[in-house]
Amino acid sequence: MKFLIQQRFRLDIHYVWCSESFDASANSRYSPLSMVPPSSNPADIYKQLKQDVERKDNHSYKIAEQKASQKKLAIDWHHAGEISAAAKDEIIYMVDNSPFDYWRPLLYLIPRINVETRIKIVPIQLRAGLANEYILPDLNRSEFDIIEL
């Protein structure tokens, strides 16, 4: 759903919170890459969201979190004049009425060389652990591939 919203209403520019490694637990325990806790580890997030979607879990914390975030963003974008009231209403309707499979997880494979100058490190107080986490606020669709496991 997030991909669809950014594609349709944000000119296919994507805001992503990302990590250098898909699965922190697959790294050496002495590597800084291994210090990403489950709540920020892409592999754990992907597995949990996939399970919630497959089981149609109406109490999924991850799906509820995403729905709240997308609706808040639609309101913020409208107040900032970035989208119309009709677009805001459409996003909120889509979020509230989309079937479970629209919330399935997607994995973005982003070659770092293409975005190196635009990557922002997340301040440590906002990270889930000690490992680096990154934000890429303006990822163009041409700069990543999508993988579904």
Give the tens place of pLDDT for each residue, 8-62: 999 999 999 999 999 998 988 888 888 888 999 999 999 999 999 999 999 999 9
Q: Structural domain of residue 63, as residue ranges?
A: 2-22+32-124
Give the tens place of pLDDT for each residue, 96-140: 999 999 999 999 999 999 999 999 999 999 999 889 999 999 999
- Work out how many domains the chain is built from and give that number: 1
- The predicted model scores a pTM of 0.88
pLDDT value of position 90: 98
Q: Is there a domain that residue 106 lies in? A: yes
Q: How far is CA 93 from CA 39, 62, 123, 140, in A?
A: 28, 19, 33, 25
- The Cα–Cα gap between 11 and 139 comes to 11
34 HSE (CA, 13 A, CB side): 7
Q: Is there a domain that residue 130 lies in? A: no
pLDDT value of position 33: 85
